[in-house]
Amino acid sequence: MIPAAFEYYRPKDMTGVIALLDEHGDDARVMAGGHSLIPMMKLRMADIPHLIDLQDVSGLSEIDVSDSEICLGAMVTQSDIINNESLSSSAPILREAALQIADPQVRYMGTVGGNVANGDPGNDMPGLMQCLDASFVLVGPDGERRVPAREFYEAAYMTAREDDEVLTAVIIPKPSGGYAYEKQKRKIGDYATAAAAVQITKDGGSCTSASVAMTNLSDTPVFSEAACAALVGTAVDETAIKAAVDAMLGDIDPSEDNRGPVAFKKHVAGVILTRAIERAWSRA
């Protein structure tokens, strides 16, 4: 399929990007790796008269790991995440999740900024960032603001980002304890039927903190506070895990599609979360 005609821009800095967004309003859209946007344009599900490529904007591809937090520039690719050793030792769940996204070709192009800004419930990084309690840095004509990932998603493809704002970075508090990203998909390269991100800490055999987020089981990623509460203070035994799964099932709202009916998706969500909790706990 061939997309509708569009003007292509390649500004060198964020001032140029914001000026173009300001000039063209709703008719303009930024492009990062293009691996979600270009297919939408080719299928004519998105008509973008003015396409602003972020590839040449400086300062968006850095990975910074400090004692307390991690900063991922918006143009950091999934492949960059997989291959960065400092990142892999500081927050190994990022690598574990990135390796389960699509295939190497997509991962060379797909960016963290595009993945979290897109608002597609099937994207893996929004739930992952909710689990890690990340914040998104947004830059617009009125300056910069930060929005917690847990407050960013409003509905499918609807987020707290304004049309004239660009997501420039993702800030992640350095995680501790055990982790797991577990994903069930129909085949390599597919989006999740269900995925779970879990971070957990342990002290003397008891769970001291837990973070649980689910992917592709609602219009938005689901951070399940109830599932976290069901684990904290327990020995994360069979009873606690079942309570966490039951709590998570009360928070998700899957719909039937080509990945299966609602009952099947809920069943898979339960299996996936059980595995993720068990693996995270074994690593804590």
DSSP-derived secondary structure for 203-220 = ETTEEEEEEEEEESSSSS
Q: Determine if 111 is a binding residue for ligand FAD (CB under 6 A).
A: yes
CB of 155 to ligand FAD, least distance (A): 15
Phi/psi of residue 21, each to 5°? -65, -40
Residues whose CB is less than 8 angstroms from the CB of residue 176 and which lie 6 or more positions away in sequence, other chains included: 201
Residues 195 and 184 sit within 8 Å (Cβ to Cβ): yes
Least distance from C-beta 6 to ligand FAD, angstroms?
A: 13
Choosing from 113, 121, 178, 270, the residue that interacts with ligand FAD (CB under 6 A) is: 113
Name which of 138 and 236 has its Cβ closer to ligand FAD.
Answer: 138
Cβ 150 to ligand FAD shortest distance, Å: 18
Check binding of 25 to ligand FAD (CB under 6 A).
Answer: no
Residue 29 touches ligand FAD, criterion: CB under 6 A: yes
DSSP string of 16-49, one letter each residue: HHHHHHHHHGGGEEEESS-TTHHHHHHTTS---S
Does the protein bind ligand FAD through residue 134 (CB under 6 A)?
no
Q: Is 178 in the site for ligand FAD (CB under 6 A)?
A: no
Between the alpha carbon of residue 7 and those of residues 24, 28, 30, 79, 165, the distances in Å are 11, 9, 12, 29, 20
Contact flags string 48-87 toward ligand FAD, x per CB under 6 A = ------x-------------------x-------------
Among 36, 130, 193, 274, binds ligand FAD (CB under 6 A): 36
Q: Where are the beta strands (DSSP E) in the chain?
A: 7-9, 28-31, 50-53, 63-65, 69-73, 135-140, 143-148, 153-155, 158-159, 166-173, 178-185, 192-203, 206-215, 222-223
Q: Does 106 bind ligand FAD (CB under 6 A)?
A: yes
Shortest distance in whole angstroms from residue 209 CB to ligand FAD: 26
Measured in whole angstroms, the distance separating CA 151 from the mean position of its chain's CA atoms is: 13
CB of 99 or CB of 262, closer to ligand FAD = 99
**In whole angstroms, how close is the CB of 131 to ligand FAD at the nearest point?**
14
The residue among 46 and 226 lying less far from ligand FAD, judged by its C-beta, is 46
Total Cβ atoms within 10 A of residue 113? 27
Interacting residues toward ligand FAD by CB under 6 A: 29-37, 39, 54, 74, 101-102, 106, 109-111, 113-115, 117-118, 123-125, 166-167, 189, 191
